[in-house]
Amino acid sequence: MDLLTGALIVVGLVVFETISSIDNAIINADVLATMGQRARRWFLIWGLLFAVFVIRGVLPWLIVWIATPGLGPIEALTATFSEDPRVIAAIEESAPIMLTGGGTFLVFLFLHWLFLEPKHFGLRGERIIIRKGIWFYAVASIVLLVIVWICIQTNPMMAFAAVVGSTGFFIVSGFRTNAEQAEQQLVEGKTSLSDWSKILYLEIIDATFSIDGVIGAFAFTLSVPLILLGNGIGAFVVREVTIRHVDQVKKYPFLKNGAMYSIAFLGMIMLMDGFGFHIPPWVSPIFTISIVVFFLVRSIRYNGMAQVNDPAAAFPDLFSIADEPSPENGLIPDRNDK
């Protein structure tokens, strides 16, 4: 790996980690506002170090180590920089398994957002799809069936990894849904917790939201040090957003769309790589940055139109913005709409 490619990968990781953690930053800011000064300072210093070195450092290292039984703990950390033929062969053998499991997780994550989650409509067709949200389970099942069938022809362990990826998605999704409901109760004052309990809650929230970034990082590289560097810098950016810029970030309605379409793209890249289509390392960072910039520009354009007149003039039948989801604005399906 040359220096330019490595730098491009790190930049792509920083952008992806930042954009995929926007929801996490908003939740952190809302909960921190209910805490005392000492607890806030403790979380923003020590909580961040835990998030960077434990979640974004140890987790990818564990994934590589567990998926590659032939490597020791140090070899798993430095594998992609090693010239040892045994280490290279072990990584090449285990890479399709890791990529298939991670790709399945990311594709399921995107489909869940596309079919079921409230959103600002950023592309044509999203409004129609969310009105047919019940189809998520059928589509996800068919996608898993196809992935497993393809994997069985090549390596049964890849098929098992795909099932692990889908199972991991549903487990993480359940934790995340429960955490978001708990966050709403905390902000509204319906639940009474000590500041230290809130810190523990925020660490759990960060862990569940960080899994997206950690798994997506493998679409960029299998190098644990590069993942730690890119995701670590991204985590510091998210901290800055949490402290100073969360209100500004909320003004860009389509950043979440950029994150989710990036996740979809990276999931497909991982699956294609796992199936033997060797994707150049520059593809993931270039396309991730391009997708994020595309939706950032759409957000800026939307905000500009909103200041002068009805933004629907610029985006007819494309976007729906509302504080609360309802069948009328299309953010949740109408049960009578068939």
**Mind listing the pLDDT tens digit for each residue in 6-51?**
899 999 999 999 888 888 788 878 888 888 888 888 887 887 777 7
**Model confidence at 338: pLDDT above 80:** no
Quote the pLDDT of residue 199. 82
Residue 52 in domain? yes
Residue 330 in domain? no
Mean pLDDT, residues 190-202 taken together: 77
DSSP structural state of residue 244: I
Residue 328 in domain? no
pLDDT top residue among 239 and 147: 147
What spatial distance separates the first Cα and last Cα of the chain, rounded to whole Å? 52
Quote the pLDDT of residue 80. 60
* Token reading at 323: 């504080």
- Exposure class string for 150-186: b at 16+ Cβ within 10 A, else e: bbeeeeebbbbbbbbbbebbeebeeebeebeebbeeb
Phi, psi values for residue 187, rounded to 5°:
-65, -40
Average pLDDT, the chain: 82
DSSP structural state of residue 65: H
Residue 336 in domain? no
Quote the pLDDT of residue 315. 54
**Residue 45, amino acid:** I
The answer to whether 193 and 201 have CB atoms below 8 angstroms apart is yes
| CA–CA distance, 260 with 294 (Å, rounded to integer) | 13
45: number of Cβ within 10 Å: 11
Nearest partner of 259 among 216, 221, 208, 218, judged by Cα: 216
Which of 161-170, 191-200, 264-273 has the least mean pLDDT?
191-200
**Residue 179 CB partners (closer than 8 Å, separation 6+):** 27, 201, 204, 205, 208
**Residue 210, amino acid:** S
| CA–CA distance, 329 with 323 (Å, rounded to integer) | 10
Quote the pLDDT of residue 84. 66
Confidence of residue 307 (pLDDT cuts 50, 70, 90): low
Confidence of residue 329 (pLDDT cuts 50, 70, 90): very low
Quote the pLDDT of residue 116. 92
CA angle 28/136/321 to nearest 5° reads: 50
Residue 281 in domain? yes
Q: Which residue has the tokens 């939740």?
A: 27
Most confident listed range (60-64, 262-266, 297-301, 306-310): 262-266
| CA–CA distance, 269 with 274 (Å, rounded to integer) | 8
* Token reading at 106: 């990311």
Confidence of residue 318 (pLDDT cuts 50, 70, 90): low
Q: Would you mind telling me the total number of residues written for the chain in this entry?
A: 338
Residue-number span of the structural domain to which 195 is assigned: 3-305
Quote the pLDDT of residue 198. 82
| CA–CA distance, 192 with 65 (Å, rounded to integer) | 41
Quote the pLDDT of residue 267. 95
How many structural domains is the chain composed of? Answer: 1
Mean pLDDT, residues 74-80 taken together: 72
Residue 334 in domain? no
What is the reported pTM?
Answer: 0.83
What percentage of the chain carries pLDDT values higher than 70? 86
Residue 319 in domain? no
Residue 322 in domain? no
**Model confidence at 279: pLDDT above 60:** yes
Nearest partner of 336 among 137, 127, 327, 126, judged by Cα: 327
| CA–CA distance, 12 with 8 (Å, rounded to integer) | 6
* Token reading at 142: 């068919």
Mean pLDDT, residues 59-68 taken together: 83
**Residue 154, amino acid:** T
Q: How far is CA 333 from CA 240, 257, 260, in A?
A: 36, 19, 20
